[in-house]
Amino acid sequence: MKNGYKRIIQRLLPLLLCCLLLTACGELDVLSGSPGGHSKGTETITLSELPEYSGEPYIEINGNEPDFPKEEWTEESFEQYAELDGLGRCGTAYACVGIDLMPTEKRGSIGQVKPTGWQTVKYDIVDGKYLYNRCHLIGYQLSGENANEKNLITGTRYMNVEGMLPFENMVADYVKETGNHVLYRVTPIFEGDNLLADGAQMEAFSVEDEGEGIAFNVYVYNVQPGIEIDHATGESFLNGTDVPGEEFSEGEIRGNSRSKIFHCPGQAAYEEMADSKYLVIFETEQEAEEAGYRKAKR
Amino acid sequence: MIIIACVDKRNGMMFNCRRQSRDSAVCGDILRECGGKKLYMNAYSGKLFGDVEEKNIRISEDFLKEAEEEDFCFIEDIQIAGFENEIRTVILYQWNRRYPADRYFLLDLSDGSWELQRTEELKGSSHEKITKEVYERVR
């Protein structure tokens, strides 16, 4: 047990020193080995060092080399999530993804989680209309985690689909095909007290073949082309205007977990569903569809 | 020559010097498609196929120069620039997924020189649906 504490102190010491240094410089940034990540990786990402978004959803960092020390290479699956900070924000999520960690059923509802910076707003120029998604840090297809508030941040549709999803797909398909394990770490990056992450660092490394199959280290931007976002609050406007998105608060979407059909406010069976033992609540139609539900015809 | 490649939804092939994806069902289908004829690839790709000597697979780092008209060439981390006119058939395996990419399949199959001859769907061992497309040069 004593050794365990010693190990924790050894791991946290560089983090504490870096925090002190960064605080002294008046510049907050993120350490990939932040609490909850339980990783010895101490590569610091400084927002001021990252280029502004310039049209690509992600950029490679550190030569695309992830930072997983050899002593962390393991062929046993695990997942770890940082505690929320004082502002309710997520920290590092870290996993060793193996087949046994992956889901065996379709994703359930995650609409009850409201990550920091959450706003339900729609824009016609956004794919699927909704500006924000609840973005899994460790994607559902990798860990099977549903409504875990320590694993969900507010991310733009663009960040979710164009930025993070392709990397999740690559890792998921590799693990399924080879049966190997992939160390996988996602660190949301918040500037100062911002409620909306500016982006997320994603790192992955395949263990059994020592990175021959999977190795990357990228930063994904939490932006949406055509829309200005205030990362302090999550508020947004059409570029070059002060026109906010259409707020969407018509009411919850009610899904039937048995029939896999969902009902919107005003539809025929909407009220009946309120007391159904098969009731599953979604916040948006998109969310229901992503969980494998289809909309009722009437 | 007959070029064989695997691509994602945006014609990506590789990211960070690694293939985007793999599926043993594709390897099996490639061998069937070749029907015992010569199949060229480099050493990186050879690892996907196991014991290459039993499968008429020729490993070479310069195989596009060596391949003749009837030969199959499986490409992953190499470009076909400079060999376009040697290609008479292209077999593309579409993963039907989005992956990150920094190397792409750059032959434009929509420039009027190519005709889609057949399409097949495969169930992969780890991919739900892989689409095989066979293009023939028409001019």
Bigger pLDDT: A165 vs A19: A165
CA distance B93 to A146: 32
Chain B nearest-CA distance from A212, in A, is: 7
**Computed from CA positions of residues A128, A131, A133, A139, in that sequence, does the dihedral angle turn out positive or negative?**
positive
**Residue in the structure block whose two tokens are 């990252």:** A50
Which among A60, A173, A178 has the least Cβ separation from residue B127? A173
Whether B22 and A218 lie within 8 Å, measured CB to CB: no
Specify the pLDDT at position A48: 82
Specify the pLDDT at position A43: 59
Using an 8 Å Cβ cutoff, are A247 and A254 in contact?
A: no
Burial class for B59, CB neighbours closer than 10 Å (0-12, 13-18, 19+): middle
Specify the pLDDT at position A1: 36
Count of CB atoms situated within 10 Å of the CB of A251: 11
Instruction: Please state the separation of Cα A93 from the chain's center in Å.
Output: 9
Across all residues in chain B, what is the average pLDDT? 95
Q: How confident is the model at residue A290 (pLDDT cuts 50, 70, 90)?
A: confident
For residue B24, the chain A residues in CB contact (below 8 A) are: 177
- Amino acid identity for residue B137 in this structure: R
Burial class for A270, CB neighbours closer than 10 Å (0-12, 13-18, 19+): middle
Chain A nearest-CA distance from B7, in A, is: 13
CA distance B56 to A47: 52
A28 touches chain B (CB under 8 A): no
Bigger pLDDT: A35 vs A46: A46
Chain B interface test: which of A169, A205, A208 (most B C-beta within 10 Å):
A169
Half-sphere exposure of B126 (CA within 13 A, CB side): 21
Reduced to 3 states, what is the DSSP secondary structure of residue B72? strand
Structure tokens at A294: 């289809």
A97 touches chain B (CB under 8 A): no
A190 touches chain B (CB under 8 A): no
**Computed from CA positions of residues A193, A194, A199, A204, in that sequence, does the dihedral angle turn out positive or negative?**
positive
Whether B16 and A173 lie within 8 Å, measured CB to CB: no
Across all residues in chain A, what is the average pLDDT? 84
CA distance A87 to A95: 24
A169 touches chain B (CB under 8 A): yes
Q: How confident is the model at residue B92 (pLDDT cuts 50, 70, 90)?
A: very high
For residue B100, the chain A residues in CB contact (below 8 A) are: 58, 166-167, 170, 216, 218
For residue A214, the chain B residues in CB contact (below 8 A) are: 18
CA distance B13 to B82: 18
Specify the pLDDT at position A41: 55
For residue B11, the chain A residues in CB contact (below 8 A) are: none
Whether B21 and A165 lie within 8 Å, measured CB to CB: no
| Percent of chain B whose pLDDT exceeds 90 | 93
Specify the pLDDT at position A39: 58
Lowest mean pLDDT, pick from A32-36, B33-37, B134-138:
A32-36
Chain B nearest-CA distance from A227, in A, is: 24
Nearest to B57 by CA among B77, B30, B87, B76: B30
Which among A58, A165, A173 has the least Cβ separation from residue B21? A173
Chain B nearest-CA distance from A118, in A, is: 26
Mean pLDDT over A147-158 rounds to 96
Count of CB atoms situated within 10 Å of the CB of A67: 19
**Residue in the structure block whose two tokens are 């539900």:** A293
Query: Judging by DSSP bridges, how do beta strands B2-7 and B72-74 pair with one another?
Result: parallel
For residue A216, give the chain B residue with the closest CA: B16
Specify the pLDDT at position A5: 42
pLDDT of residue B99 exceeding 50, the answer is yes
Which among B16, B24, B125 has the least Cβ separation from residue A64? B16
Specify the pLDDT at position B58: 94
Nearest to A157 by CA among A98, A225, A62, A110: A225
Chain B nearest-CA distance from A244, in A, is: 31
What are the residues facing A215 on neighbouring strands? A205
Whether B21 and A212 lie within 8 Å, measured CB to CB: no
**b/e per residue B68-95 (b: at least 16 CB within 10 A):** eeebbbbbbebebeebeeebebbbbbbb
A216 touches chain B (CB under 8 A): yes
* H or E stretch at A152: strand A152-156
For residue A206, give the chain B residue with the closest CA: B18
Whether A214 and B21 lie within 8 Å, measured CB to CB: no
Lowest mean pLDDT, pick from A32-36, B40-44, B82-86:
A32-36
Nearest to A223 by CA among A57, A45, A90, A60: A57
pLDDT of residue A144 exceeding 50, the answer is yes
**Residue in the structure block whose two tokens are 């293939």:** B19
Chain A nearest-CA distance from B122, in A, is: 15
Using an 8 Å Cβ cutoff, are B58 and B25 in contact?
A: no
8-state DSSP, A82: P
Specify the pLDDT at position A106: 80
Specify the pLDDT at position A285: 81
Structure tokens at A248: 């969407």
For residue A169, the chain B residues in CB contact (below 8 A) are: 97-99
Instruction: Kindly report, residue by residue over A104-113, the tens digit of the pLDDT.
Output: 888 777 888 8
A221 touches chain B (CB under 8 A): no
Specify the pLDDT at position A239: 87
Which among B18, B98, B126 has the least Cβ separation from residue A176? B126
Instruction: Kindly report, residue by residue over A191-233, the tens digit of the pLDDT.
Output: 999 999 999 999 999 999 999 999 999 999 999 999 999 999 9
pLDDT of residue A240 exceeding 50, the answer is yes
pLDDT of residue A33 exceeding 70, the answer is no
Whether B100 and A174 lie within 8 Å, measured CB to CB: no
Distances (CA, A) of A266 to A279, A295, B5, B20, B48: 16, 13, 50, 45, 55
For residue B127, give the chain A residue with the closest CA: A173
Specify the pLDDT at position B31: 95
| Percent of chain A whose pLDDT exceeds 90 | 57
Half-sphere exposure of A263 (CA within 13 A, CB side): 19
Q: What are the DSSP calls for A182-230, one per residue?
A: EEEEEEEE--TT-SS-SEEEEEEEETTTTTSS-EEEEEEE--BTTEEE-
